[in-house]
Amino acid sequence: MLILAGLGNPGSKYELNRHNLGFMAVDAIADRYGFGAERARFLGITRQGVIETPEGPVNVLVLKPQTFMNESGQSVAQTMNFFKVKPKDVVVFHDELDLAPGRFRMKTGGGAAGHNGLRSVADWITPDFRRARMGIGHPGDKDRVLSYVLANFGSDELDAMKALCQACAEAAPLLVDGQDERYQAEVLRLAPAEKADPRQGGKGEPA
């Protein structure tokens, strides 16, 4: 079993927040591969399905913790314990301030870089999980970060973020097959985004 956990906050008021990009990505993956209906369990919402890879079919569970961002790790840990998997079998999709909008990077392990959802997951399961880092840019001032990530995507950003999520879904067989570098390259090929200073890419709260 491979667990694809998206980070975000539950409830319709947060649905299009920048901080909910992880939710958007795993929803796109579940939809693309016809996963089953949503189930409430493990302090989250799950959908389960199969993704075909060159090495054969792989069982995949999409998880959206419903504990709010700061407690995401509890939901991930419960899911891991139930399926008896290791951190290497968990991929966390999350918004990333330190990448320009639309940029994408895979990484295993490391710190939380101020992301409370990542910090919570690391506290519960160790930092040795795989991370799918989805760039949203930086507002340029650390005092504006909270309002920035909890604001909705601007209309000009949303189309690009939806394209990024669709690319994450289309390339998912590579991710499921453990080919993280090839997955990163394919996502960027499918949803090209300009390399830029993330602090110049952050546009602040939409009007």
Beta strands 56-65 and 104-108: pairing type?
unpaired
Render pLDDT for 114-125 as a digit per residue (tens, 0 to 9).
999 999 999 999
Give DSSP secondary structure letters for 40-104: EETTEEEEEEEEEETTEEEEEEEEEE-S-GGGHHHHHHHHHHHHT--GGGEEEEEEETTS-TT-E
Q: What does the H/E/C string look like for 3-42?
A: EEEECCCCCHHHCCEHHHHHHHHHHHHHHHCCCCCCEEEC
| Residues paired with residue 106 on neighbouring β-strands, in sequence order | 132
| Residues paired with residue 91 on neighbouring β-strands, in sequence order | 4, 130
The sign of the CA dihedral 121, 122, 125, 131 is positive
Render pLDDT for 65-84 as a digit per residue (tens, 0 to 9).
999 999 999 999 999 999 99
Please provide residue 55's backbone torsions phi and psi, each rounded to the nearest 5 degrees: -95, 0
| Residues paired with residue 62 on neighbouring β-strands, in sequence order | 4, 47
What are 31's two structure tokens?
């939809």
Specify the pLDDT at position 54: 86
Beta strands 104-108 and 44-53: pairing type?
unpaired
Specify the pLDDT at position 59: 98
Of 67, 48, 56, give the one whose Cα is nearest residue 3. 48
Specify the pLDDT at position 200: 67
pLDDT beneath 70, residues of the chain:
200-207
Specify the pLDDT at position 80: 98
CATH code for the structural domain at 2-201: 3.40.50.1470
Specify the pLDDT at position 156: 87
Contact 7, 25 (CB under 8 A): no
Query: Catalytic site residue 19?
Result: yes
Of 164, 142, 31, give the one whose Cα is nearest residue 93. 164
Of 19, 94, 115, 138, the active-site residue reads: 19
Please report which helix (H) or strand (E) contains residue 133, including its range.
strand 130-135
DSSP state of 15: T
